[in-house]
A and B are shown apart, each in its own frame.
Chain A
Amino acid sequence: MAQRQRDSDGGARVGVYVCHCGTNIAGTIDIYGLTDFAASLPGVAVAREYKYMCSDPGQALIKQDIADHSLTRIVVAACSPCLHEKTFRHATALGGLNPYFFQMVNIREHDSWVHTDKAAATAKAKDLVRAAVNRVKRHQPLERREVSVKSDVLVVGGGIAGIHAALTLANAGKRVYLVEREPTIGGHMAMFDKTFPTLDCAACILTPKMTAVKMHPNITLWTMSEVARVEGYVGNYRVTVKRKPRYVIEELCLGCMECIEACVFKQAKVPDEFNLGLSKRKPVYIPFPQAVPQVVVIDPETCIEFKTGKCKKTCIEICGERNAIDLQQKEELKTIEVGAIVLATGFRIFDAKRIPYYGYGEYPNVYTGLEVERLINAAGPTGGELVMRGGRKPTSVGIIHCVGSRDEHTNRYCSRVCCMYSLKLAHLIKEKTGAEVYSLYIDIRAPGKAFEEFYNRVAEEGIRLIRGKVADIYPAPNGGSGLVLQVEDTLLCRVHKILVDMVVLATGLEPRADAQEVRRRFNIGCSSEGFFLERHPKLAPVNTFTDGIFLAGCCQGPKDIPDTVAQAGAAAGEALALIDAGAFELEPSTAYVLKDNCSGCKTCIGLCPYQAISFVEDRKQAEINEILCKGCGTCVAACPSGSIRQHLFEDEEILEEIDGVLAYA
C-alpha cells in the first residue's frame, strides 16, 4: 500500500452541490444543514443546494460556478453514480475541467431512501460528503479511453425475440450471426395456435419472418448450435460457437423428406418434441412443416445405425446422388468476432409435476396449456381436433390459472401471459367443441392493449369464470368418468366441486434450466427469480451490466409477444447505437505500474484473469497492458511494494474516503 502525504491538497477549490431530488432526498435529509456543513469543510469554495441537480439548470450551475469561483473539483451529493455519474462528469467537462475531477455521493439510494431517522440520515450524508470532498482533492486528470467497435452482431436464440432482433439488425446492414440450439428457429411461438387478443394464427405471422431470416443475405443462421465461449470485451467479443452434428448437410438437403418415408422405422416411434410428446416421429425427421431451415435432422439417440451400426441405411439410399446425409458429421467449433451480442434465450414452461395435487402426469386428461395449443392446432398431432387421450372429445373443461405463478411454494411472480392465454384457450375450446368451459382464476390480469375487451368478449361467450384457487383434483367417485375440481369460490364464499372431462393447467414461465450457466458464460447477472438482470428496470431495460450485451424477450422476464418484439427491436436499436458510434468509451480505472518501485516479484502476474500483466525480462519488472486491463484492482491490492496503482481508485483516494467517513463532526 502506498504511503500517503497528508498535506497535499494542492490548493484545490471544491464545489459541492446537494440535490433535493424533490422530496426524495430533502424529505429525510436536512439539505440546508448538509450544505452549510459542506461549505465549512477545508478546501470547499462553494456549496449549494438545488432542487434537481440533474436538470439542465442544475448542470448549468456547476458550469457557471467553475468559471465564477475558479473551482478545480466538483462533488455532487444526489442519487446513485449508476444513474448520473456520467451526467455530472459531462457537466464538469463543460465547465472546462477534467471530467474525472468529479466525485458523486449517493445520498438517495444509500441514505434517504433506506433510513427514517432524519438526524442519523443527515449525519450519514455529512460523513459521505466529507469523504467525497477529501477524495476528490486527490483526483488526477485522466484521459478518456476508447475502443473501436466491430460491426457484426451475435444473436443468441431463434425465437420471436431473436428473429426480430436479427432481422432489424440485418435490415440496418449489419452482419448477424443467429445461433439457435434446436434444429429449427421459431421457438415457443411456433408451437402456439392462435395469439391473444387478436386471434391471429401464430404460424401465419411468424413463418414469414422465419423465412425472411433464412433468405436474408446479412444473416448467418446456425441451428443446432450453442455458444461455448465468450472472450473479449465490448465492441470486440470473440465468441466460440459449438455446432452440433445434424448428420445432414444443410446446403445439400432439399427438404424433400423422402428419407423420412424411406426410414427403416415403418412407424414413427419416438416422442415428438415439437408436439410435446403427444405424437410420434421417426429418428430422421423435420421438426414441423414450416421449420427453418427446411432440412431434416437425424437423432443419433434413436437411429438404429448409431445404436447398432447395422441399419440398411435406406435414408442414404433414397437420397442418392444428392448425398445430403452424412452420418460421419462431427461437432464443429466456429469462432466469430462481434461488436455486440443480443441474448434472446427465452424461457421454459413450469413443470406442472411440481404441484402433485393437480395430478399432471398421473391423470391422463390433465394437460398443460402448451399441450392444448398443439392439440387445437391444425398442424398438431390430432389435426386440430380437440380430443383427449382415449380419443373422446371433452364436454366440459376446467382451466386452472396461475399454475407455478403467484404461488409461495413455486414462483411468487406473475407470469403475465397465462390469464390471457387461458382466456384464449377457453374461447378456442368453446369454439371447437362447444364444451362447458370453467376458468378458475385468482385474479384476471388483462392490462394490455385490447386485453380487457377480449376478456369481456370471452366472458360474454359464456365461459364460466370462477374466482378461486383450485385446491385439489381427483377422479370422479364411484368409477364415474372425469375429474373433480375442488375450489372455493372466493366471491360467493362457497366450495364448489366441479366435474370436468379435461383439465388444462395454465403453467407459468420460468427461466431456462441452464440460465445460470449461460449468464456466467456472458458475464451478466440474474434477478432473484433467475431471469437475466437488466441494467435498470425502467431506464435501461435491454442493457446489461456488461457493455455490449443486450437482452430481448422472456430471458429477461415473462412477457407476451408484442412486448417481446418491442424489446427485441429495442435491443437491436441499442446494439446499432453502439456499433454505429464506431467507438466505445471505457472507464479510465485501469491499473498501472510505478516503474521506479516495482521489484519484479511477479505476485501480480498470476492474479490477472485477463493476462493484462506481463513480465518484462530485460527490466525485470511487471508491465500492464491498459487495453486488456479491465480495472478490477485485484493486482493493486496484492502488490507488496505498493507499486501497482489504479486510476480513480488510488490508495490515497480510498484512505481519504475512510478518513472522511470516520471523522467525527
Chain B
Amino acid sequence: MPDGFEPKIVAFFCNWCTYLAADLAGTSRMKYAPNIRVIRTMCSGRLDPQFVLYALANGADGVLIGGCHPGDCHYQEGNYKTLRRYHLLKRLLKEYGIEEERVRLEWISAAEADKLRTAVNQLVEKVRALGPLRWCAPVEVREPSEVTLQ
C-alpha cells in the first residue's frame, strides 16, 4: 500500500435523514475523517446503482450510501428499494472483483450524528486498509501462460 494513501469516498445521502444527521454532526462539532464528499438526493431511492459504479470507475475508493431507517422513509418505502438494489449491486461488484466492503449502506436517522461519524470513520479506515481501488487505471495485461482455460 502506498504511503499516505487517503481514500476518496463519495457519499449519497438522502435529504431527510442522513443528510440531516451530517448537518447535526456539524452543529454538534463532531469530528470525522475529511475523506468524504457528500452528494444529496431527496431519497436514497433515487440512487441509481450506476452512480456508484460511475463513482468507483472515476476515482472513488469507496461509496457510502445513507438513508432513513426501514419504516422511516420520508417517502414511505424508497429505502426498501435502495436495499434491494444494494444487494444486487454487491453481487455485481463481486463479479467485477471489487471488494464489497468498499460500498456500504447505512440507515442513519436525522438524530444519529454519532452513527454517521462512526460509519464515515469506519468506512475510511476499511478502505484505507484495502488500498486504492484504481478501477479507472488501465488493466494490467497478464502473460497468456498465467491464464488457465477451463
Which parts of B1-55 form the interface with A (CB within 8 Å)? Answer: 6, 8, 10, 16-17, 19-20, 22-23, 25-27, 29-32, 34, 37-43, 45-51, 54-55
The reply to whether B58 and A658 form a contact with Cβ atoms under 8 Å apart is yes
The reply to whether B59 and A664 form a contact with Cβ atoms under 8 Å apart is yes
Interface size on A, residues (CB 8 A): 54
The reply to whether B60 and A589 form a contact with Cβ atoms under 8 Å apart is no
From B90-98, B99-107, B108-116, B139-147, give the one contacting chain A.
Answer: B108-116
Q: How many angstroms from the CA of A637 to the CA of B47 in the assembled complex? A: 6
The reply to whether B34 and A657 form a contact with Cβ atoms under 8 Å apart is no
The reply to whether B42 and A116 form a contact with Cβ atoms under 8 Å apart is no
A649 contacts across to B, CB distance below 8 A: 41-42, 46
Known: A113-B26, A634-B45, A662-B58. A525 touches B109 (CB 8 A): yes
The reply to whether A636 and B48 form a contact with Cβ atoms under 8 Å apart is yes
The reply to whether B54 and A658 form a contact with Cβ atoms under 8 Å apart is yes
Asked if B78 CB lies within 8 Å of chain A CBs, one says: yes
B19 contacts across to A, CB distance below 8 A: 82
- A642, closest chain B residue (CB): B48
- A662, closest chain B residue (CB): B59
The reply to whether B47 and A109 form a contact with Cβ atoms under 8 Å apart is no
Asked if B71 CB lies within 8 Å of chain A CBs, one says: yes
Q: How many angstroms from the CA of A121 to the CA of B38 in the assembled complex? A: 13
Category for how many chain B residues contact A: 35 or more
Known: A113-B26, A116-B31, A131-B39. A634 touches B78 (CB 8 A): yes
Q: How many angstroms from the CA of A231 to the CA of B7 in the assembled complex? A: 44
Which residue of B10, B34, B47, B85 has the most chain A CB atoms within 10 A of its CB atom? Answer: B34
Asked if A452 CB lies within 8 Å of chain B CBs, one says: no
Selected from B32, B40, B77, the residue in CB contact (under 8 A) with A114 is B32
The reply to whether B39 and A657 form a contact with Cβ atoms under 8 Å apart is yes
Asked if A659 CB lies within 8 Å of chain B CBs, one says: yes
Q: How many angstroms from the CA of A636 to the CA of B31 in the assembled complex? A: 34
Selected from A106, A114, A633, the residue in CB contact (under 8 A) with B30 is A114
The reply to whether A662 and B60 form a contact with Cβ atoms under 8 Å apart is yes
From A163-171, A335-343, A526-534, A570-578, give the one contacting chain B.
Answer: A526-534
Selected from B26, B31, B109, the residue in CB contact (under 8 A) with A80 is B26
The reply to whether A121 and B78 form a contact with Cβ atoms under 8 Å apart is no
The reply to whether B48 and A662 form a contact with Cβ atoms under 8 Å apart is no
Q: What 1/0 flags go to A65-109 for Cβ under 8 Å of B? A: 000000000000000111000000000000000000000001011
The reply to whether A533 and B110 form a contact with Cβ atoms under 8 Å apart is yes
Chain B nearest Cβ from A155, distance in angstroms? 23
Asked if A43 CB lies within 8 Å of chain B CBs, one says: no
Asked if B74 CB lies within 8 Å of chain A CBs, one says: yes
The reply to whether B75 and A634 form a contact with Cβ atoms under 8 Å apart is yes
B38 contacts across to A, CB distance below 8 A: 106, 110, 128
Q: How many angstroms from the CA of A657 to the CA of B51 in the assembled complex? A: 10
Asked if A371 CB lies within 8 Å of chain B CBs, one says: no
The reply to whether B16 and A545 form a contact with Cβ atoms under 8 Å apart is yes
A634 contacts across to B, CB distance below 8 A: 43, 45-46, 75, 78, 81
- B53, closest chain A residue (CB): A1
The reply to whether B46 and A633 form a contact with Cβ atoms under 8 Å apart is yes
Which parts of A101-157 form the interface with B (CB within 8 Å)? Answer: 106, 108-111, 113-117, 120-121, 123-124, 127-128, 131
The reply to whether A82 and B20 form a contact with Cβ atoms under 8 Å apart is yes
Asked if B150 CB lies within 8 Å of chain A CBs, one says: no
Asked if A61 CB lies within 8 Å of chain B CBs, one says: no
Asked if A523 CB lies within 8 Å of chain B CBs, one says: yes
Asked if A172 CB lies within 8 Å of chain B CBs, one says: no
A-B contact pairs, 9 of them (CB 8 A): A80-B26, A128-B38, A632-B75, A633-B41, A637-B45, A658-B10, A661-B8, A662-B8, A664-B59
* Top 3 closest pairs, chain A to chain B, by CB: A109-B26, A633-B46, A634-B45
